[in-house]
Structure 1
């Protein structure tokens, strides 16, 4: 399944809101590095761009050692495709499908006053 452009906008908005949250609250109480990586990869792929492990770790403001561990976990969990050092990272098709479904539901909540 391809990335849905409206869902990509929702992902970008979630990343912005998460960034604002970090501006107000101490960031160490919101350690969701893997989720940030997956959302960022989704947005990157929606833009038809590529990102390396180093770039993704920098974009998500993840400490390098922590980022490498999370990337290894995401590969083992089949959320991202295996990648070569310095090569582009991409989500697996099942991960894209799940993110599409999640982001469509999240967009619906954001457009209404209904709880999730």
Structure 2
């Protein structure tokens, strides 16, 4: 399932959930908890959290120096991929190295670990001179969405 399909599916499921919530409320069965936010609101809150988290991580090196001292290249890559994927931007594996602000060997190692854990996938992109395109898997995207949404509130 492509990354864009995950968002469409989430929106469809949220639309169905909204209908169920309306039925529940009008039937007097609202004891099942509050209605969920629409997918667009969830994604917007998660995107803001991701952008804030990445900005804070990069800003702290301005105050304490040496980025390697607090480096979390895997987390930086996940945040960056989530932001770009949510904005429908494409990212090459090469750009993931740069954005992680880690040495290339370290970034490659972490990309491999993230891929082995089913959080990202790199696929050849014949339409690009950059080679591979890297993106979050549906599992990786949903995990990031849920985490970032949870810290947004």
- TM-score scaled by length of structure 2: 0.66
Q: What secondary structure, in the 3-state scheme, does the structure 1 residue paired with 2:121 have? A: coil
Gaps of 5+ in 1: 109-116
Alignment equivalent of 1:99, drawn from 140, 144, 147? 144
Residues 51-93 of structure 1 deviation map (CA, whole Å, 9 limit, x = unaligned): 1011111122121111111111111111101423822101010
More helix by share: 2
- Pairs aligned (count): 108
CA distance in 2, matches of 1:72, 1:86: 16
Alignment partner of 1:27 is 2:72: no
Moved over 3 A (4+): none
| Offset of residue 15 of structure 1 | 0.6
Alignment equivalent of 1:45, drawn from 79, 85, 90? 85
CA distance in 2, matches of 1:22, 1:106: 22
CA distance in 2, matches of 1:10, 1:43: 10
More strand by share: 2
Aligned Cα root-mean-square deviation (Å): 1.6
| Equivalences for residues 72-111 of structure 1 within 5 A | 72-84=112-124, 86-108=131-153
CA distance in 1, matches of 2:122, 2:88: 19
CA distance in 2, matches of 1:63, 1:86: 20
Gaps of 5+ in 2: 1-5, 8-41, 125-129
CA distance in 2, matches of 1:64, 1:28: 13
> Counterpart of 2:50?
11
> Counterpart of 1:68?
108
Alignment partner of 1:54 is 2:54: no
- Name the structure, 1 or 2, with higher relative contact order (CA <8 Å, separation 6+): 1
- TM-score scaled by length of structure 1: 0.85
